[in-house]
Structure 1
C-alpha cells in the first residue's frame, strides 16, 4: 500500500507553510486537494500557492480548468490518484494538502463515491426546496431517517443537497441509500496531520488573511468571478461572492470586507466540525502557537516514510 502524508485543517491555519517545509525535507511533491484551486486565474481568493512557493516544491492539481467549466469530484479523484501514483513511481513523497474534507475523504477511500444514478424528479426537488426554505432542514432529515437512519445520522447539518439525494435514491430504489454504497476502505497508508490552533488565534489569522488578499488584488478576481454564469461553481466560492455587493455599488467596501471575514470564519468552523466528525486517525498539532514542534513532526514523517 502506497504511503502518503496528508495535511488537513481549516483555512488560514498554515497548511501551505507546513507542506512546503515537509516537501523540501522529504523530497516531496504536493497534491492540492481543494475544489476551488483547480480553476485558473483564481489565485488570491483560493489561497493558491504562489509561483515562488510552487518553485520550491512541485505542485499538482492546480489550474486545471477555466472558471466557467465544471469539474466534478469524480474527475478530481481520478486525476489526483494518478498524480499520487506517478509521484511514488518517481521515488518522491506524496504530500496531500487541503481543506475540502469530502474530496480528501474520497481520495483516501474512506467514503467511496457512490455510482448510483437516480432519476431526476423536479416535483421532488421543488417540494423539498420549498419545505426547507420555510421549515428548515429538520423535516427533510426526519423523512430520510424513516427510510435510511444511517444516512440521516451521517450527513452533516447544512448538507441539503446530500440529504435530498439520499432520500430520493432511497425512495426510488426501495433500499436505504447507505446500503447501496460500498464499505469504506482506505486505499493508502496515510499519515494524517491535522492543523488547528486556539479559535481566537485562528480567527485573527483569517481576518488578517482577508486584509492581505484585498491588498493583493482580490477585487480584480471577484470582478472576473462576478461575470461568470450563475451555474458556475466558482461563483459560489467563499472569497468572491461576499464582494459582489461592493462591486454592484450596494455595499460599502468595509461592509463587504466584514462579510467576507465572517463567512471565512464560519467556513473554518464548518471545516473543523467536518474533520472532527468524519475523519479518523488524525494527529492534531498546533504549529501556530508551538512552532518548535515542527522538527519533531518532520522526524515523525521521515520515520513513517522509511518504515
Structure 2
C-alpha cells in the first residue's frame, strides 16, 4: 500500500489542454502547480514554449517557470532538486502538489527516484549512447544479460526487447552506484502519484499542433527566435528547442518563413508522437480525451477524488 506524499501529475503531448485542466484541478483540489517542462524554465521564451500567462494562472501559484537565463543549462538533476523543494513547500501549506508538463524523462526521474547527482545531462547522454552502441553490436539479449548480471530483479521486470528501458536501468546503476530495482522501491515509498494523461485522436492532435505554430507566429514567436539567434542560437542550451531552431535558416536567408514553419510543425508532430510513446511505455498513466470528449472532465475529477481518499 502506498504511504508516500500524494502528488498529482498532468502529462501528455503539446496542444491537448494540459494548462486549462491544471487550473481547473488546482482550483478544485487546493493545489499549486509545478511546471514539468524543460523549456518553460527559460526567461523570455514565452510564446514558443506555450508558457502560461499571468492572467491564465487565475491566482494559482506556479513553480519552475522563468528559473534560468537562456545561456544556462537546466539538467534533470536540477529539475529533481527544485521540484522536490517545491513539493515540500506546497505540502507545508497543506496544499496538493500538481506537476504539469510533457518532459517525460524529467517526470520519470522524479517518480523513480533517480539520484543523478549534479552531473551535467551530457554525461548521461554518453552513458546512454554507450549502452545503445553495445546493443547494436552484440544484440538486445546480450544487453539484457549485462543488466541481469548487475541487477537481476530489475532485469526480470523488463522485457529483453525493451532496449530503452534496459539501457535506462544500466544508466541509472552506472550513474548512481545503486541498483535500479532499489531506487524504484524507494520511490514507491516516497510518492503516491496519480498521473492524468491527456491525448486525442492522432489527426486531431496534429491539426491542433499545426494551428498552434501558426498562432505562435502571430503572437510574436519570431521575436523570441531573433532574441535566441542574436545570443548564440543553437549553441545555447535553450536554443535547440523545437519551435525555435527551425526558424534560424529564415534569419540566415536560407529558407522562407513558410518553409521554416512547415519544418517546425513537422518536428512538433514528431515530438508529440515521442511524448505519447514515452508516457505509454514508461509510466502508469490514466488516459483521457478532453478535446473530443470534454464530458470526461467529470470522470477525471471523480478519479482524483477516489485517489485522494485512499
Scaled by the length of structure 1, the TM-score of the pair is 0.81
1:223 & 1:47 partners in 2: Cα distance?
A: 17
Aligned residue for 2:198? 195
Task: Choose the corresponding residue for 1:249, options 250, 253, 269.
Answer: 253
Aligned residue for 1:213? 216
Does the CA-based 8 Å contact 1:9-1:272 persist in structure 2?
yes
Shift of 1:141: 6.7
Shift of 1:178: 8.6
Aligned residue for 2:37? 34
Q: Which secondary structure does the structure 2 equivalent of 1:97 belong to?
A: strand
Distance 1:181-1:39 versus aligned 2 partners, 3 A rule: farther
Aligned residue for 1:156? 164
Shift of 1:306: 3.9
Gaps of 5+ in 1: 171-176
Q: Which secondary structure does the structure 2 equivalent of 1:266 belong to?
A: helix
Shift of 1:301: 1.9
Stretch deviating more after TM superposition (226-235 or 213-222): 226-235
Task: Choose the corresponding residue for 1:138, options 133, 136, 149.
Answer: 136
Shift of 1:230: 4.4
Alignment of 1:88-237 (within 5 A): 88-108=91-111, 110=112, 112-114=114-116, 138-139=136-137, 144=143, 147-148=146-147, 154-156=162-164, 166=171, 179=179, 182-184=182-184, 185-186=187-188, 187-226=190-229, 227-228=231-232, 230-237=234-241
Does the alignment pair 1:286 with 2:289? yes
Distance 1:255-1:23 versus aligned 2 partners, 3 A rule: same
RMSD: 3.4
Scaled by the length of structure 2, the TM-score of the pair is 0.81
1:299 & 1:270 partners in 2: Cα distance?
A: 29
Does the CA-based 8 Å contact 1:20-1:56 persist in structure 2?
no
Q: Which secondary structure does the structure 2 equivalent of 1:29 belong to?
A: strand
Deviations 1:130-164 (A, max 9, x none): x98xxxx934876856744759855539xxxx78x
Does the CA-based 8 Å contact 1:148-1:178 persist in structure 2?
no
Distance 1:246-1:190 versus aligned 2 partners, 3 A rule: same
Aligned residue for 1:238? 242
Gaps of 5+ in 2: 149-154
Stretch deviating more after TM superposition (224-233 or 33-42): 224-233
Stretch deviating more after TM superposition (244-253 or 54-63): 54-63
Does the CA-based 8 Å contact 2:78-2:118 persist in structure 1?
no
1:213 & 1:17 partners in 2: Cα distance?
A: 18
Distance 1:181-1:231 versus aligned 2 partners, 3 A rule: farther
Distance 1:116-1:298 versus aligned 2 partners, 3 A rule: closer
2:253 & 2:42 partners in 1: Cα distance?
A: 27
2:53 & 2:46 partners in 1: Cα distance?
A: 8
Stretch deviating more after TM superposition (239-248 or 46-55): 46-55
